[in-house]
Amino acid sequence: MRTSLIKNLALLSAGVFFLLGAAAKPSKLVVIAVSTEPSTLDGQAVIDRNSRVASGNIFESLLDRGANGEVIPLLAESYKNLNDATWRFTLRKNVKFHNGEPFNAEAAAFSVNRITDKAYKTQRASYIQKIKGAKAVDDYTVDVMTDGINAVLPVQMTQLVMVPPVAAKDKSFGVTPVGTGPYKFVRWDRGREIVLAVNKNYWREKPSIKEFSVRVIPDPQTQLSALQAGEIDLVLDLLPEQAKLAPKFISVPATEFSYIQFNAHKKELADPRVRVALNLAVDKATLAKALYQGHGKPMDAQHLSKGMLGYNVRLKPYPYDPKQARQLLKEAGYADGFELVLNAPIGRYLKGEETSEFVAAQLKEVGIKVKVQLHEWNAYRKLGRIPGTEANAFDLKYGWNSNEWFDASRIVSHITCKGTSSKLCDKRIDELMAQGIRTLDQNARDRYYQEVWAILNKSPHAIYLLQQNLIYGLAQRLDWQPRLDDEVNVAATRVSE
């Protein structure tokens, strides 16, 4: 262990020297602030925004999303559906990974098989359902096999990044990532920042920003101060109260929907009337106006917005009607109310803790006593996966669901009987969801999903809260537009000095 001791001592002295030499940054460097440090930069492993800011610019997928949310080619030039369970992708030629490895069918197949391998731990598990694997047909053609008909495979492929077969086998891949993207990894100063520089051999036109860093600033006030002082250029998550104080801000209704999931297997929540009553008891309009200062609006009782596949125009948000709520509870036999525990994660969702407290107070008004229980993120996720029929499953769980697929099938794991996060079991919904994924006819799929949400409207799986806005804070010099899928594309960004 002596070498590691020496290594540690060297680290110590290097750390001291580095810290003592911390000087002002050069003005050209673009800095993006994130609130928590990524645990790894392996693009296939993590899904959270903070990690994707860096890995999203290092890695690329076969397909991408266009300006209007449609699926467009990226590393694949074209694709077609060979048969029910196979999709064939024709790959772009002359693309290299940052370390010189060629991007070809072998690399593509390796990438798909790596992430779908059961032994590989990824947070993207729910995004790669029904993908079985891939194999290279020739140098630039790869076949991706699915488990039965998978109508959303193209959408899934927009988020499955390509990794180099040789470098990805290295244990340090998460710390020194290698991709095909417009930026390559330079260094990672733990606890401080991740620096990326332009990829000189990028296969498309080179980005105008030569270097940028992703800086870890946990405190929102510090992020704002740094933005105001010109030290950083982009903040991903301004607090609603801070929006007006930033040099520039952009608030967009995103693909994020906040909700409080019911455990419909619990005795008191089994009756759909009870669940509708709880939806009626919460004043979502006030929640949006007061807590989120208008940066959000009540969702139309579905985890979809207009333009997404499966959106049912006939559905509207539940009105705020505590009287009716109490009436329904009485009808269901709970005139005296009952007790529930509402679980929420700490520090993960904007104002999540406050919203939970708010909802608890509102439910109390109709006779339901709610205790808010906060959990650390990992514990919270673990809690969510306990099947609803078990004794220690949750009653209520606050969360946000993002629908970057723009497709109703995204929520399948929350509403089907066997879904990993599901606490609801309705045979008709299961049928419809299965049909929806099994056909490639988009119109038919749209009809199936609309019917699912119509059913859910009578028997909701959650208290449907808001479609949340994402509030970005920009420095004056930054010329950037957010994307619908919340990817921060630095290559398309400019600075005007």
Partner 1 sequence: MTPLLQRFLSWGLLIWVGYLLMITLFALTGNEFAPYDPTRQQVVARLLPPFSSSSRGFHWLGTDQLGRDLLSNMIAGARLTLFIGLISNAVGMAIGVALGMIAGYYGGAVDRLVMRLSEAQTAMPMFLVAIFFLTVLGPTVLNVVIILPSLVWPAFARLVRAETLRLRSALFVEAAVATGATDWSVLWSSILPNMAPRIMVLAVIELGHVMLAEAGLSFLGIGVQPPATTWGLLIARGRAYLAVAWWLAILPGIMLGLTVLALNMLSRRFAATSGSAA
Partner 2 sequence: MNHLSLPSFLLARLRDGLVVLFLVTVVIFVLGHMLGDPAALMSPVDASEQEIAHLRHQLGLDRSFAEQFASYFGSLVRGDFGQSLWQDRPALTVVLEALPATVLLTLVALVFAGLGGSLLGILAGARPESALDRAANFLSITALSVPNFWLGLLLIVIFAVKLRMLPTSGFSSWQSLIMPASALAIIHGARVFQLVRSATFEEMAKPYALVARSKGLPERLILGKHILRNTAVTMLTTVGWEYVRMMGGAAFAIEVVFAWPGIGQLMIHAASRQDFPVLQAAVIIAGAFVIVTNGIVDLLYRTLDMRVRAA
Where on the chain is the footprint of partner 1 (CB under 8 A)? 220-221, 224, 239, 241-242, 286-287, 290-291, 346, 351, 354, 357-358, 361, 371-372, 374
Window of 107-115, 223-231, 262-270, 366-374 that interacts with partner 2 by CB under 8 A = 223-231
CB of 19 to partner 2, least distance (A): 5
Among positions 265, 381, 438, 477, the unique one binding partner 2 when judged by CB under 8 A: 381
Could you say which of partner 2, partner 1, none residue 365 binds, taking C-beta under 5 to 8 angstroms by partner kind?
none
CB of 217 to partner 1, least distance (A): 14
The smaller minimum CB distance to partner 2, of residues 17 and 68, is found at 17
CB of 365 to partner 1, least distance (A): 10
Residue the block writes with tokens 């700490």: 346
What is the four-CA torsion angle of 436, 400, 33, 39, rounded to 10 degrees? -80
Which residues have a Cβ under 8 Å from the Cβ of 222 and sit 6 or more positions away? Answer: none
Q: Does 82 bind partner 2 (CB under 8 A)?
A: no
Q: Does 221 bind partner 2 (CB under 8 A)?
A: yes
The smaller minimum CB distance to partner 1, of residues 99 and 221, is found at 221
Q: Which amino acid is at 212?
A: F
The answer to whether residues 315 and 323 touch, using CB atoms and an 8 Å cutoff, is no
Half-sphere exposure of 48 (CA within 13 A, CB side): 14
The smaller minimum CB distance to partner 2, of residues 1 and 67, is found at 1
Which residues have a Cβ under 8 Å from the Cβ of 107 and sit 6 or more positions away? Answer: 97, 101, 162, 163, 164, 165
Residue 356 dihedral angles phi and psi, to the nearest 5°: -60, -45
The smaller minimum CB distance to partner 1, of residues 353 and 431, is found at 353
Among positions 48, 106, 211, 231, the unique one binding partner 2 when judged by CB under 8 A: 231
Using DSSP's 3-state secondary structure scheme, residue 419 falls into: coil
CB of 293 to partner 2, least distance (A): 19
CB of 360 to partner 1, least distance (A): 9
The smaller minimum CB distance to partner 2, of residues 226 and 299, is found at 226
Residue the block writes with tokens 């940052």: 98
Mark residues 8-47: x for contact with partner 2 by CB under 8 A, - for none: x--xx--xx-xxx-xxxx-------------xx-------
Q: Does 93 bind partner 2 (CB under 8 A)?
A: no
**Quick one: 255 exposed, middle or buried, by C-beta within 10 A (0-12, 13-18, 19+)?**
buried
Residue the block writes with tokens 């409207």: 457
Other CB atoms closer than 10 Å to residue 441's CB: what's the count? 10
CB-based burial, 400-429: b 16+ in 10 Å, e otherwise: bbbbbbbbbbbbbbbbbeebebbbbbbeeb
Where is 436: in which H helix or E strand?
A: helix 427-438
Q: In angstroms, rounded to a whole number, what is the distance separating the alpha carbons of residues 496 and 3?
A: 48
The answer to whether residues 57 and 489 touch, using CB atoms and an 8 Å cutoff, is yes
Q: Which two structure tokens, joined as six digits, stand for 373?
A: 């229980």
The smaller minimum CB distance to partner 1, of residues 25 and 364, is found at 364
CB of 4 to partner 2, least distance (A): 6
Could you say which of partner 2, partner 1, none residue 96 binds, taking C-beta under 5 to 8 angstroms by partner kind?
none
Could you say which of partner 2, partner 1, none residue 228 binds, taking C-beta under 5 to 8 angstroms by partner kind?
partner 2
Could you say which of partner 2, partner 1, none residue 313 binds, taking C-beta under 5 to 8 angstroms by partner kind?
none
Could you say which of partner 1, partner 2, none residue 361 binds, taking C-beta under 5 to 8 angstroms by partner kind?
partner 1
**Quick one: 14 exposed, middle or buried, by C-beta within 10 A (0-12, 13-18, 19+)?**
exposed
For the chain, the first-to-last Cα distance in angstroms comes to 51
Q: How far from 101 is each of 59, 98, 131, 178, CA to CA, in Å?
A: 14, 7, 25, 10
Among positions 139, 241, 331, 376, the unique one binding partner 2 when judged by CB under 8 A: 376
The smaller minimum CB distance to partner 2, of residues 145 and 226, is found at 226
CB of 277 to partner 2, least distance (A): 34
Q: In angstroms, rounded to a whole number, what is the distance separating the alpha carbons of residues 109 and 171?
A: 20
Cα 67 from chain centre: 19
CB of 371 to partner 1, least distance (A): 7
Residue the block writes with tokens 């080179």: 206
Could you say which of partner 1, partner 2, none residue 382 binds, taking C-beta under 5 to 8 angstroms by partner kind?
partner 2
Q: In angstroms, rounded to a whole number, what is the distance separating the alpha carbons of residues 143 and 226?
A: 47
CB of 263 to partner 2, least distance (A): 19
How many residues bind to partner 2 according to rule CB under 8 A? 43
Using DSSP's 3-state secondary structure scheme, residue 367 falls into: coil
Could you say which of partner 1, partner 2, none residue 282 binds, taking C-beta under 5 to 8 angstroms by partner kind?
none
Could you say which of partner 1, partner 2, none residue 357 binds, taking C-beta under 5 to 8 angstroms by partner kind?
partner 1
Among positions 28, 93, 206, 385, the unique one binding partner 2 when judged by CB under 8 A: 385
Where is 471: in which H helix or E strand?
A: strand 462-474
Other CB atoms closer than 10 Å to residue 140's CB: what's the count? 17
Mark residues 115-134: x for contact with partner 2 by CB under 8 A, - for none: ------x-------------
* Residues of this chain that bind partner 2 (CB under 8 A): 1, 4-5, 7-8, 11-12, 15-16, 18-20, 22-25, 39-40, 121, 174-175, 190-192, 215, 217-219, 221-222, 225-226, 228-229, 231, 346, 376-379, 381-382, 385
